[in-house]
Amino acid sequence: MKKLYVLGLLSILVIGCHKTAPQRPTYHTQQSGVAVLQEDSGLIKIIRYNEEQVDYANHFLAQWVVLDKRQWVLDEQSYWYLITEKGTGDTVKIEEERQIHLITRHLDGTLIADEEKIITVGKREVIVAVDDDLPHRRVGDKLEMLVPWYLAYGQFGNEDVEPYENIYIQLTILQ
């Protein structure tokens, strides 16, 4: 009886320890030993659509700037800015609290928001383009910005801004 018990335990142990081979996810194929996304995957379609929207936004804002005929500057992150008044105060630094006045509009001029707020620079308390631009500014600076959707409210927008919408901003650094 003892031999039967030991034999039973050994068979359970052998069967229970059999390692099953991992399954490949259905959205991957094997190509030259590297897993790649299949061409028809939904993720690829979303990425391609967003890339097309980025190209369209950049082209549209570049045309807008040409028609405006003022001396706009293209930032390396792909938003446009125009300094309308140079400040003489301290340089803005990351992680400092600063008071700003922000007027946000649709490109047709319709007001989205007009607000004064105290923010901590670099903490993403405002849209990406504004937050990334602030460390290049001084207290007292006034500027206008043309911001592509991907540096503003993104592919989802918010209650006042449509998905993939480019916006116009007037920014004043108050203190």
- CATH code that applies to domain 71-173: 3.10.50.40
Beta strands in the chain, from DSSP E residues, in sequence order? 28-31, 34-37, 73-74, 80-85, 97-106, 111-120, 142-147, 167-173
Q: Taking all residues of the chain, what is their mean pLDDT, rounded to a whole number?
A: 85
pLDDT digits (tens, 9 = 90+) for 61-84: 999 999 999 999 999 999 999 999
Q: Which residue has the tokens 């301290």?
A: 90
Report which of 74, 174, 54 is spatially closest to residue 119, judged by C-alpha positions. Answer: 174
| pLDDT tier, 132 (very low <50, low <70, confident <90, very high otherwise) | very high
**Amino acid identity, position 126:** V
What is the rounded CA–CA span in Å between residue 100 and residue 119?
Answer: 8
Q: Kindly list the domain boundaries of the chain, sorted by start residue.
A: 71-173
The answer to whether 54 and 60 are in contact (CB under 8 A) is: no
pTM of the model: 0.74
